Structures are given as structure tokens and as C-alpha cells.
């Protein structure tokens, strides 16, 4: 890992610019966008190796890959995702494979739409919604709600209120789409997950629930290129941003997607977190897993793992969250998009005492586009969704901690890396100012993550029983949130952000 960081650091020292601000970015070795946004043929298209080499130098090597899968999906088989301790990483396929050796058929769009470099959110907001966000905390939106699926089985089977699953089922059954791109847990092995194109309600239900490790959804773009029709898409914020950039560039596969849905995403963990949990329970290999569910049972759910020996391991959601500081993904620390700001509809847990005490599963719902609004209205009229409008302040109170983690914390972390001369993503905007007290809190958070990621700390936590470490983590988490709430929430709701070339009000 040190070598990867060194390569990125040397490049930053030579250029003096973060990854997202390369002087020749628009050309990608000659590839440019025409006035309609479609890519023009170039030397880079004739030699895709240059594109992949640039991705390796500027994104993969410095550790900025978000594991979205876009470059693999646009490589005509020249690239593949390979499992590593730092998540699935794009690599050249076998020399005799499709597309030629060394990633020779990688589209320049793979570079332009790479979220690891950072994508310009102000430009994408204008492209997708025709306006700038009315809140840089939440992105563009037309309505804020709390709701749930009115179909009991879908509500129970979802991660919170079953809203995304219900919407996708409705889009399919009403004929608004011909298929839906979702993530299916348990394939190709019980502990893995992969993107699939669902064609029926049953296939959609197989993709319900959350998956908390990186899944490169956008590898599905290659399969989509061979299909006709209209599609729905469910993806994480970085995957959605990459998709929107591809739509802006005129990519044929991306333009087949009519509806974009996405969950809120705070943090994800590497697969090593699951391996650690298994080892702490005396299970030495992932191959022993026969079934894995991240949010099984009554909301908010519990981690459930079944093994070949017949063991059934369960850990309450707030207990197995102890793994986060030990195995948090690097992309989680550098992402600034919590609420999936470029989706048509985004959904998260409704963390509020009024809903939590009912334990039935409620979702926070943000509708951002006119067509998303039409879908929700139609579903309400048909009795498929129950929605209650909420205020911006109520939405903020449900997720203030994580909004601060992204809208302040990520920018602090990015600033530190840039100050050390390391490549960083560029999102086209930043906070106008961050209080000194908030920066001090981030020093503590950074120190905690550093300490927990060390080998001795990871080994120690495996030796402690979940019955001890789970409750202890939950108590410490509550103490930490209470202690830091004044510093993290102060001024958050009215925070101002600078868009490059202008100012945007956080409200």
C-alpha cells in the first residue's frame, strides 16, 4: 500500500494539482466532447491502454478507486474487477482475453466518468435537474418525506421501509421499464454480491436489503450495451454520479436508463470486516458461509450468517457496526455525497424517535426530479406507498451526524491529503468555512480510524466476544455523539458552500 501512495504522491509533486484538476482533463489524450456531449473518436480510443494507464496513475495507484466498475463496464472485456484487501480493483484481463492485452480497448469515457477523480456536482446537477441544488446538504429536491411500502412482505423484506424495492417493482409491473439493475446478494458465492438485470418482481425481491461491502455495479454497462429497452437503476452515490456523467457524454448504455434510484450511503466496509467477524466466532474461511443477510429481521435488523456446519450467527445492527472504524473503506472517507444527490429518488433509514420506537421500518425519501415525483404520486394513489411530508429541519435531524461527516469531514480529510501533495478528488464545490472546533473533532476521528486500522487493534477486537464489544461500542458511540453534537451540528443547517466561480447558500 505504501508503494501505491508513493506513486500518487510523486505525481502530485510534479503537477501541483489534485487529480480532479488536471490541466489537460477535457482531452484525455485527444478525446473531447462535442457540443452535444457525445465523445469524439481520438488517439485514446484507438489506444485504450493510455486511458487505463492514466487511471492507474491518477486513481488506482493513489488509492482513490471507489470500486464503481465503470471502467470495466466500458472496456469491452479488456478489464476485470479483481478482489484485493482494499476492495475490488480494476485490472487488465488475461492477455488473450477480449479487447487485447493491458486494457487496450478502454473507452475515454471511463476516465471522464471516473468518480475516483471526483465529478463536478454543480455541472451534473444542472445537466440532470436543470438547476443548482436548493440545499448543498441534500442536493436538488422537490419533496422530503418519510414513508414505507404498503405491501407488508416488501416492507418487512427491505432494509428499512421497502421503498426502493416497491418502486422498482412498480416500474416493472406498470411497464415503465423493461428491466431493473439491482444488486443480488449471494452470488457468485454466498458471501458475495453482484449486479443483475431483474425482469420480474421476484427477481427484484431477490435484490432487496442492503449490502455493506463494495459491489462494482457499473460493470453491468457492458451487458446493457447488448440490450434494447428502458431500464431502472439502483446504485450508490459514486456509481450514480458516474452514470450521470456517462449520460451527459452520450454513452448509449447509460442513456437506456430512465429511472435512477439510490440509497443514502454513509460508510461501507471491506470484506475483511466480515472475515474478522467470522474469525471472532471461530470460523476461518468465507467459504464456510452458506447465507449472508446484512439487515435480517425486524427493523433496524441484524447481521445473519449461516455456515456449512449449521451455525447461525447473529449480531444486532448497532453491535456489528463496531467493525466500521476497523475496516472502513477509503472511498467512504473521501465521498461528499450522503443522500445520493444525483438520483431521481433517494431513500435512507428514518432515524427519528417517533419512527424508531414503532420498529416497523420507515424510510426517509427525497424526490428530486419531476418524473420521480410522478412515480411517487401514482404509487400513493394506487395505495402502494404511504408518504408523510417532512420539513428540511426534520430531515436534517434524522441524519445530521452523517451529513456533517460528509459535508464537512470529507472536505477536511481531502484538504489534509492535498496539503501533503497527494492526489484528491475534486467535486466542483466546497464549504466556504469550517469551524476550528469541527476541525479539532476531525483530528480525533482520524486518529481513531488510524489506530483501529492497525494490525494489533484488529487482532485485539477479534479476541473479544461480541457480547462485550457490541454493547461497549454502542455505549461509546452514544457518548461520542452526545459529546461532539454541539461542534458537529453548530451552523450545519445554514452552512454556505463555494461553487467554483460562485457562491451557493447551504439552505
Residues of the chain by 3-state class (helix, strand, coil), percent to 5 = 45, 15, 40
**In a domain? residue 261:** yes
Q: Is 160 exposed, middle or buried (0-12, 13-18, 19+ CB in 10 A)?
A: buried
Tens digit of pLDDT for each residue in 253-297? 999 999 999 999 999 999 999 999 999 999 999 999 999 999 888
User: Sign of the CA dihedral 349, 355, 356, 359?
Assistant: negative
**In a domain? residue 62:** yes
Nearest C-alpha neighbor of 117 from the set 246, 238, 263: 238
Q: Is the pLDDT of residue 106 over 70?
A: yes
**In a domain? residue 183:** yes
The pLDDT value recorded for residue 31 is: 42
Confidence at 243, pLDDT banded by 50, 70, 90: very high
Q: Is the pLDDT of residue 344 over 70?
A: yes
For cell 458537529, the residue is: 488
Mean pLDDT of the chain: 87
**In a domain? residue 476:** yes
- Tally of structural domains, the chain: 4
Encode burial over 90-105: b for 16+ CB neighbours within 10 A, e otherwise. Answer: bebbeeeeebbebbbb
The pLDDT value recorded for residue 259 is: 98
Shared domain check, 54 and 99? yes
Shared domain check, 279 and 198? no
The pLDDT value recorded for residue 491 is: 87
Whether residue 412 contacts residue 440, with contact meaning beta carbons closer than 8 Å, is answered with no
The mean per-residue pLDDT over the stretch 19-42 comes to 39
The mean per-residue pLDDT over the stretch 443-466 comes to 95
Nearest C-alpha neighbor of 372 from the set 418, 402, 324, 340: 340
pTM, full prediction = 0.88
Structural domain harbouring 310: 271-321
Shared domain check, 96 and 69? yes
DSSP three-state, residue 462: helix
Q: Is the pLDDT of residue 500 over 50?
A: yes
The pLDDT value recorded for residue 317 is: 85
The pLDDT value recorded for residue 490 is: 84
Q: Is the pLDDT of residue 364 over 90?
A: yes
Whether residue 265 contacts residue 338, with contact meaning beta carbons closer than 8 Å, is answered with yes
Shared domain check, 158 and 259? yes
C-alpha 13/C-alpha 108 separation (Å) is 25
Shared domain check, 405 and 389? no
The pLDDT value recorded for residue 207 is: 74
Shared domain check, 226 and 139? yes
C-alpha 277/C-alpha 430 separation (Å) is 37
Q: Is the pLDDT of residue 35 over 90?
A: no
Q: Which of 69, 97, 117 is the last residue of a domain?
A: 117
Q: Which of 398, 419, 438 is the last residue of a domain?
A: 398
Please report, for residues 64, 297, 482, the alpha-carbon distance to residue 9 in angstroms, rounded to integers and kept in the order given. Answer: 12, 46, 37
**Weakest mean pLDDT among 33-42, 118-127, 235-244, 394-403:** 33-42
**In a domain? residue 446:** yes
- In 350-490, the DSSP E strands lie at 363-367, 385-389, 429-431
Confidence at 477, pLDDT banded by 50, 70, 90: confident
The pLDDT value recorded for residue 244 is: 98
C-alpha 238/C-alpha 154 separation (Å) is 26
Quote the cell numbers at residue 455.
Answer: 494490525
The pLDDT value recorded for residue 103 is: 54
Confidence at 68, pLDDT banded by 50, 70, 90: very high
**In a domain? residue 506:** no
213 cis-preceded (ω within 30 degrees of 0): no
**Weakest mean pLDDT among 42-46, 52-56, 481-485:** 42-46
For β-strands 345-349 and 257-263, DSSP reports them as parallel
The pLDDT value recorded for residue 42 is: 46
The pLDDT value recorded for residue 486 is: 84
For residue 255, give every residue at least 6 positions away whose Cβ sits within 8 Å of its Cβ, in sequence order, or none.
247
For residue 299, give every residue at least 6 positions away whose Cβ sits within 8 Å of its Cβ, in sequence order, or none.
160, 359, 360, 361, 362
The pLDDT value recorded for residue 467 is: 87
Q: Which of 117, 148, 167 is the last residue of a domain?
A: 117
Q: Is the pLDDT of residue 40 over 50?
A: no
Whether residue 108 contacts residue 28, with contact meaning beta carbons closer than 8 Å, is answered with yes
The pLDDT value recorded for residue 24 is: 40
**In a domain? residue 27:** yes
Shared domain check, 469 and 368? no
Residues facing residue 507 across a β-bridge: none
Q: Is 177 exposed, middle or buried (0-12, 13-18, 19+ CB in 10 A)?
A: buried
DSSP three-state, residue 16: coil
Shared domain check, 44 and 16? yes
Shared domain check, 434 and 454? yes
**Weakest mean pLDDT among 106-110, 354-358, 391-395, 451-455:** 354-358
**In a domain? residue 507:** no
Question: Which is more confident, 300 or 272?
Answer: 272
Shared domain check, 353 and 218? yes
Shared domain check, 229 and 208? yes
DSSP three-state, residue 95: coil
- In 211-367, the DSSP E strands lie at 231-234, 257-263, 289-296, 302-307, 312-316, 345-349, 363-367
pLDDT cut 70: percent of the chain above it: 87
Shared domain check, 105 and 206? no
The pLDDT value recorded for residue 95 is: 60
C-alpha 488/C-alpha 231 separation (Å) is 39
The pLDDT value recorded for residue 104 is: 61
C-alpha 139/C-alpha 156 separation (Å) is 29
Nearest C-alpha neighbor of 434 from the set 480, 496, 476: 496
Amino acid at each position: 500500500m505504501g508503494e501505491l501512495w508513493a506513486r500518487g504522491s510523486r505525481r502530485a509533486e510534479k503537477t501541483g494539482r489534485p487529480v480532479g484538476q488536471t490541466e489537460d482533463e477535457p482531452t484525455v489524450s485527444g478525446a473531447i466532447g462535442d457540443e452535444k456531449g457525445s465523445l469524439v473518436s481520438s488517439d485514446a480510443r484507438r489506444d485504450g491502454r493510455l486511458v487505463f494507464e492514466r487511471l492507474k496513475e491518477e486513481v488506482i495507484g493513489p488509492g482513490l478507486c471507489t470500486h464503481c466498475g465503470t471502467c470495466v463496464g466500458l472496456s469491452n472485456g479488456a478489464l476485470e474487477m479483481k478482489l484485493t484487501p482494499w476492495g475490488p480493483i480494476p485490472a487488465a484481463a488475461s492477455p488473450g482475453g477480449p479487447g487485447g492485452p493491458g486494457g487496450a480497448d478502454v473507452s475515454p469515457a471511463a476516465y471522464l466518468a471516473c468518480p475516483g477523480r471526483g465529478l463536478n456536482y454543480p455541472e451534473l446537477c444542472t445537466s440532470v435537474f436543470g438547476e443548482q441544488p436548493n440545499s448543498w446538504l441534500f442536493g436538488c429536491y422537490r419533496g422530503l418525506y418519510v414513508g414505507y411500502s404498503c405491501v407488508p412482505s416488501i416492507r418487512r423484506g427491505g432494509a428499512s421501509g421497502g421503498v426502493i424495492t416497491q418502486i422498482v417493482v412498480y416500474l416493472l409491473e406498470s411497464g415503465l421499464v423493461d428491466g431493473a439493475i439491482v444488486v443480488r446478494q449471494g452470488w457468485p458465492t454466498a458471501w458475495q454480491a453482484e449486479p443483475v438485470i431483474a425482469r420480474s418482481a421476484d427477481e427484484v425481491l431477490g435484490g432487496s436489503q442492503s449490502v455493506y461491502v463494495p459491489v462494482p455495479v457499473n460493470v453491468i454497462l457492458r451487458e446493457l450495451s447488448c440490450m434494447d429497452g428502458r431500464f431502472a437503476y439502483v446504485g450508490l452515490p459514486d456509481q450514480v454520479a458516474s452514470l450521470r456523467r456517462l449520460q451527459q457524454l452520450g454513452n448509449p448504455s447509460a442513456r437506456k436508463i430512465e429511472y435512477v434510484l439510490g440509497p443514502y450511503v454513509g460508510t461501507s466496509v471491506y470484506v475483511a470486516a466480515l472475515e474478522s467477524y467470522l474469525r471472532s466466532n471461530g470460523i476461518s474461511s468465507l467459504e464456510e458461509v452458506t447465507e449472508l443477510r446484512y439487515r435480517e429481521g425486524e427493523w433496524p435488523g441484524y447481521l445473519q450468517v449461516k455456515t456449512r456446519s449449521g451455525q447461525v450467527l447473529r449480531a444486532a445492527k448497532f453491535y456489528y457496526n463496531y467493525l466500521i472504524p476497523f475496516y472502513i473503506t477509503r472511498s467512504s472517507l473521501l465521498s461528499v455525497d450522503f443522500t445520493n444527490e444525483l438520483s431521481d429518488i433517494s431513500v435512507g433509514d428514518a432515524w427519528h424517535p417517533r419512527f424508531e420506537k414503532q420498529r416497523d421500518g420507515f424510510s426517509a425519501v427525497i424526490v428530486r426530479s419531476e418524473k420521480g415525483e410522478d412515480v411517487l404520486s401514482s404509487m400513493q394513489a394506487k395505495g402502494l406507498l404511504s408518504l408523510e411530508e417532512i420539513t428540511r429541519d426534520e430531515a436534517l435531524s434524522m441524519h445530521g451526524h452523517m451529513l456533517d461527516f460528509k459535508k464537512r469531514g470529507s472536505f477536511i480529510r481531502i484538504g489534509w491529503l492535498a496539503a501533503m501533495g497527494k492526489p484528491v478528488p475534486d467535486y466542483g464545490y466546497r464549504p466556504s468555512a469550517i469551524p476550528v472546533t469541527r476541525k479539532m473533532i476531525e483530528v480525533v476521528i482520524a486518529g481513531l480510524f488510524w489506530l483501529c486500522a492497525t494490525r494489533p487493534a484488529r487482532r485485539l477486537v477479534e479476541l473479544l466476544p461480541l457480547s462485550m464489544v457490541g454493547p461497549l461500542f454502542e455505549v461509546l458511540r452514544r457518548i461520542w455523539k452526545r459529546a461532539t453534537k454541539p461542534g458537529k451540528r453548530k451552523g450545519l443547517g445554514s452552512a454556505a458552500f463555494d461553487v467554483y466561480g460562485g457562491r451557493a447558500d447551504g439552505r
